[in-house]
Amino acid sequence: MRLLIINGSPRGSRSNSLVIANHFLRGIKASLQNNLQLEVLNLIEEHAILSDVTEKIAVADKVLFAFPLYVDSMPGLVMELFESLYNLKGKLSGKEFLFSIQCGFPETLNLRFVERYLQKLAGRLGADYVGCISRGGMEGARFLSEDSEVLQRYRELGEIYGKTGKLDKDLLGKIAHPERIPLAAKAIALALSPAGIFDKYWNRQLKANGVYKRRNDRPYEE
């Protein structure tokens, strides 16, 4: 199997998307052992020469595109790559496209619109659509323990894919849970929100970037 993994996150090698893809890949490696030819690209480092990326797609058997939700869609560099693939239209028959998308929003529902687009994209390009791995609440994926349940499921999904060439539907559903946050949980979160317990992560990010004291600035307010 010649597998190409394209990480479309602007964070590149420091991204949650790559962490997730690597756990899926570990499962594939466990099942295929030495029968795998692999290349991993960080698109943020390669997108200046998209022709090189498309050439690698053209010779791969299977391509995994991994990226985060950006403004209800995808990063611009990913869209630019997808648009460039129309130059390969008619040359992708028999190639398998699969996707791993994630977001920081807790509900996987936010990703379903992008998922439907990706299915249509593969069909329009003439590639085989294997499926899409979708998961909300993954902004902190790079901080998760190796033993976390969700990362174990990504590895298990990869192992099954390596053996069967298919994404297990039951595991996809478990990874995607919760599709929606239950009403009771929303009510509890709303009640706790004034205490600031949900601000801790973002406050750390603000402090790390030296802008915590300016967090309430309104530069465009008259």
pLDDT tens digit sequence for 135-147? 999 998 999 999 9
- Per-residue pLDDT at 184 exceeds 70: yes
Q: Yes or no: say if 54 and 88 are a contact pair by the CB < 8 Å rule.
A: yes
Q: So what's the pLDDT on residue 127?
A: 97
Q: Do 95 and 119 fall into the same domain?
A: yes
Give pLDDT, residue 222: 63
Per-residue pLDDT tens digits for 4-59:
999 999 999 999 999 999 999 999 999 987 789 999 999 999 876 888 999 999 99
Q: Count how many domains the chain has.
A: 2
d(CA 14, CA 5): 15
Same domain (yes/no): 158, 188: no
Do both 33 and 84 map to the same domain?
yes
Percent of the chain surpassing pLDDT 70 = 99
Residues 201 and 162 in one domain: no
Q: Is residue 222 part of a domain?
A: no
Percent of all residues in the chain with a pLDDT value above 90, rounded to a whole number: 80
In a domain, 200, yes or no: yes
Report, as an integer, the average pLDDT of 111-139. Answer: 97
What is the C-alpha to C-alpha distance for residues 219 and 38, in angstroms, rounded to an integer?
A: 48
Which residues have C-beta within 8 Å of that of residue 83, sequence separation ≥ 6?
A: none
CB atoms within 10 A of CB 25: 22
Q: Do 191 and 83 reside in the same domain of the chain? A: no
pLDDT of residue 4: 98
pLDDT for 194 beyond 90: no
pLDDT at 129: 98
Q: Quote the domain boundaries for residue 161.
A: 2-176
Query: Looking at the domain assignment, is residue 115 inside a domain?
Result: yes
